Chain A
Amino acid sequence: MSPALTNLAYIVAAILFVFGIKMLGRAETARSGNRLSALGMLIAIVATLAQSGLAYTWIAAGLALGAIIGVLAARLVRMTAMPEMVALFNGFGGLASLLVGWAELEKILHLSAPVYFFHNPVVPTFTWLAIALAVAIGGMTFTGSILAWGKLSGKFGSKAVVFSAQRIVNSLLLLAILVAFAGFVLGSGILASTTVYGLFLGLIAGALLLGILAVLPIGGGDMPVVIALLNSLSGLAAAAAGFVIFNNVLIVAGALVGCSGLILTIIMCKAMNRSLPNVLFSGFGAVEESAGGDTITGEMKAASLEDAYYVLEAASSVVIIPGYGMAVAQAQHAVKELGDLLEANGATVRYAIHPVAGRMPGHMNVLLAEADVPYEQLCEMEAVNPIMGTVDVAIVIGANDVVNPAAVTEKNCPIYGMPIINAHHARTVFALKRGKGAGFSGLVNQLYFLDKTRMLYGDAKSTVTGLVAEFKSAR
């Protein structure tokens, strides 16, 4: 295939990516949008393979191995484990971009730089810069995503880790990376090639370390922001790799992902009323349980399943507010069954979803969709808050900070100003909770101390199943 034809195919692929992302933004078209973008990817791959002089045996083997692993991973993953799966895939993409940059450097060193740049008439400094960027961003994305994967799947513990000299260590590391970066970009062609190679390896090591140190102080509840940001970075890494090998489809697709990921990151930050630097650097949630305002009066009152059943049986409108606890307990199917029984009993049932509930943007929506909850029943926070006052019962399932009224009333509490779902406006609140501990932010939730609130302690799934059983036995 001639280079012109290849580039034409790349243009088609880029157009399909744009349409694909656009269509992913609407529920009706999302699935076909994803398929369109997959078609674009296929076209880009085929057009690349159609170039002559490639090592086809090796390429076929690599594609087959990757495809088998990818298919198995995508088929076998449980829906509750989706956040960590996305993080893992994202990390692989970042590492791949790093390796593409590195492989091109090996190619340049193998041919020797003067020969390479004789055949590729580009500005050498720019190629060094692009390689350094692809490696630095790709490396950060890789280790950051792997750590996020570990935190999300509970392998490393999801708490924010803050140590005393963190700022100093991070600053020194950043400085070292900048030195290696500048030395590599400006020194290539001047310094001895072993020195340049050493700087390059140092840059990789620094970037890998930075990814770990950047995600380490970020706690579980801030993960939606981190995942969206890492997604954006993997796009930028791909775009940088595109500049290394002068490939326009890498640049276009990488820039699209990089910028749309950034928008999503900003949306997530707004949903928590915090700035991106605050999320990244504050070590939020590392503080031990604080009082969160001195105005807490009363005590947490437990209720039995039977009591809860009588209240729910009489309710004519119910709002279910799910959180990460529902995902942990894998209670989504039981919750859907309870919702159906309430509807059959004549109540209006809505699910109120906070934008940052769970560990990934839109996490709760995916789980409830898995349980076949029709998406018309899923309400966004802005839609449900005005009618909260007319709701008979709000059932909070494993959500905590997103329903804490202190965010509205307590000026000095750390989550002040974060938009919440106004569960406290409902006539009765049932809060399903494993124990009496505080939430991710370390704050005591004032909602639990209200007179109208009853606690249903225990695993969310067994509690909901218990309520379902109460309904069924009453028939």
Chain B
Amino acid sequence: MDLVLLLFILALAAFLGFELINKVPSQLHTPLMSGSNAISGITIVGAILAVNLTEGSMALVLGMLALVLATINVVGGYLVTDRMLAMFKKKGDDHK
């Protein structure tokens, strides 16, 4: 893909990130942070592509390590966030 195009995408995504979370109530700061932390585990995609048998054992070791760590980040991050959000209840909401 064209480099300039990727830089273009970067700029737009960055501005979107700035706009998205203005005025978030403080009670949601923790889930927001841990939820976006899980998204930063997207590097898992890079890790999957890095695990490769044909390019030397060093690359394989690094790729596998990256894959395991990124998977922990993704799976753990989403589950922890969900667990936290499950606790936020309205009054009289206990039966759900």
Contact = CB atoms under 8 A, between A and B. Distances in A.
Contacts of B41: 41, 89, 93, 96, 238
B38 A38 contact: yes
B95 interface: no
Interface in A217-239: 227-228, 231, 234-235, 237-239
Nearest to B93: A374
A264 B32 contact: yes
A250 B46 contact: yes
A376 B40 contact: no
Contact of A96 (B17, B25, B43): B43
Contact of A257 (B10, B37, B56): B37
Interface stretch (A102-110, A314-322, A421-429): A102-110
Contact of A263 (B13, B18, B58): B18
Contacts of B63: 99-100, 103
Interface string A257-273: 11111111001000000
B76 A73 contact: yes
Interface string B32-57: 11111111111111111111110110
A24 B28 contact: yes
Contacts of A255: 9-10, 13-14, 16-17
Contact of B1 (A66, A248, A361): A248
A34 B67 contact: no
A71 interface: yes
Contacts of A353: 26-27
Contacts of A199: none
Contacts of B39: 17, 20-21, 37, 41, 235, 253, 256-257
Interface string B52-70: 1101101110111111111
A244 B37 CA distance: 21
Contact of B27 (A55, A259, A365): A365
A258 B40 CA distance: 8
B49 A258 contact: no
The bracket for how many chain B residues form the interface is 35 or more
A257 B40 contact: yes
Given A65-B71, A374-B89, A27 B50 contact: no
Q: Which of A107, A126, A246 has the most CB of B within 10 A?
A: A107
Contacts of A378: 27
Instruction: Name the residue among B14, B42, B63 with the largest chain A CB count within 10 angstroms.
Output: B42
Nearest to A268: B29
A93 B70 contact: yes
Interface in A37-96: 37-38, 41, 44-45, 48-49, 51, 54-55, 58-59, 61-63, 65-67, 69-71, 73-75, 77, 79, 82, 85-86, 89-90, 92-93, 95-96
Contacts of B48: 45, 48-49, 54, 59
B59 to A, nearest CB: 4
B69 A380 contact: no
Given A54-B51, A55-B53, A96 B1 contact: no
Interface in A362-420: 362-363, 365-366, 369-370, 372, 374-378, 380
A345 interface: no
A82 B27 contact: no
A77 B52 CA distance: 34
B96 to A, nearest CB: 11
A446 interface: no
Contacts of B69: 66, 92-93, 95-96, 99
Contact of B68 (A31, A66, A90): A66
Contacts of B21: 21, 24-25, 260, 263-264
B26 A37 contact: no
Contact of B40 (A38, A75, A123, A253): A253
A151 B42 CA distance: 27
Contacts of A33: 35
A41 B85 CA distance: 19
Nearest to A75: B79
Contact of B36 (A38, A243, A257, A366): A257
A99 B62 contact: yes
Given A17-B39, A369-B84, A89 B90 contact: no
B22 to A, nearest CB: 7
A73 B47 contact: no
Nearest to A123: B3
A66 B72 contact: yes
B82 A35 contact: yes
Contacts of A323: none
B75 A231 contact: no
A248 B18 contact: no
A370 B38 contact: no
A41 B38 contact: yes
Interface of B: 1, 3, 6, 9-10, 13-18, 20-53, 55-56, 58-60, 62-94
Task: Give 8 nearest A-B pairs by CB, closest first.
Answer: A66-B71, A259-B17, A70-B75, A362-B29, A361-B29, A74-B79, A70-B76, A99-B66
8 contacts: A92-B69, A96-B47, A106-B58, A110-B55, A253-B42, A260-B17, A260-B36, A369-B88
